[in-house]
Structure 1
């Protein structure tokens, strides 16, 4: 059930965190891996570790995104979108240019990827988005993160209908112990906080039998 030999898995945001761990486990299952990221150092490290193809990619760059997918060896089998972190900012202090950029990446970027996957993912393959749990309850500084989290299920449901028989799903992993979480939370990322966070790596959340579902949801 874990054999992915002969398949191609594309991980958007695959140079760290959940994306990198997904790429590692898919690689261990025999898949050919393509990873993207924005940090050249982390991207090169992931490429070397996994023997993967790697490309720098910005989800807000529509033409660049189209070129990336057009150059993939088609068709691919699975696409996971794990790139980009949320914006945490109280409304009174919000930088609206930054907020617009984050929403463009999360919302329009998700639609851009779905459009490309309509033609480059094989029938029966999958497109999976990683999202958050910020929309479940209000909190200071969570407005933009909540909008992104609340919108992704609607994007996913519509994409699933339009892209069928490609499977489209979203995973709300919550806070996970990754370098991104530590950077975003700063001083609040205490040892006590880390002990309460699900660790998808140790839990082995990616598994061919559950793809694209997750026990960390």
Structure 2
């Protein structure tokens, strides 16, 4: 396949789950891909899964110095590129009375502040006619208990998609967002270490989804690539990939 031949792509948070699945599809289609992650284990695992053709970079999506260093690395590796997929994110489910300043700051630093400055630093390297895709969440439109700070941070991303779409129009760079519902990425098990509690949450979440199941990382990847390369008359939009949960 050569669907993405000569395309160069940067994926923030690309060493697991949705980011990794997107990287695989791009590489299968002939693209050159640079993915970032934080954990040593995740970086090593992604390197093995993606193979020698991928560029796997240790970079903390919350850190402005790391973002600056990443921009320099992308410039060195690619000079310019075609798609920035800003996918890094994580939830710490916490009820109102349990939210600390540290949790609040973590949710906004990772899910809102980091993505904003990532686009600021990397947008100058995106080719005319290129694209930015954010990963938002169903939590930015649904009142999910325990997700106040996460949902608010993801709502900020939804706003960025609109505003940055307007700002980058002169360079013909489209900015959109993919909004996942429950996706089987393994992140639920990380967020809820207790296996029984995680299993109950999975059953509970599946029951609320009209399609009665979790989505897959590959289904998110297809939506991301549609927004990035096929939806050429679409900008400032958010595409729900949530089994209908936010719609019906």
Superposition TM-score, scaled by structure 1 size: 0.89
Q: Does structure 1 residue 188 correspond to structure 2 residue 221?
A: no
1:209–1:134: structure 2 CA closer, same or farther, 3 Å change rule?
A: closer
1:206 Cα deviation after fit: 4.5
Retained in 2: the 8 A contact 1:135–1:150?
yes
Counterpart Cα distance in 2 of 1:209 and 1:90: 36
Match of 1:173 in 2: 180
Report the 3-state secondary structure (helix = DSSP H, G, I; strand = E; otherwise coil) of the residue aligned with 1:98: helix
SS at match of 1:5: coil
* TM-score, scaled relative to structure 2: 0.79
1:136 corresponding residue in structure 2: 141
Q: In the alignment, which residue of structure 2 is the partner of 1:69? A: 71
Unpaired runs of at least 5, structure 2: 207-211, 232-238, 243-248
Cross-structure match for 2:108: 103
- 5+ long unaligned stretches in structure 1: none
Give the ranges of 4+ consecutive aligned residues of structure 1 lying more than 6 Å apart after TM superposition: none
- Give the whole-Å Cα distance in 2 for the aligned partners of 1:94 and 1:156: 27
Aligned length: 217
Equivalent residue number for residue 128 of structure 2: 123
Query: CA separation of 1:202/1:110 partners in 2, compared to 1, >3 Å: closer, same or farther?
Result: closer
2:216 is the alignment partner of 1:199: yes
User: Matched residues in 2 for 1:87 and 1:163: separation?
Assistant: 32
Please state how far the C-alpha of 1:136 moved relative to its aligned partner.
Answer: 2.3
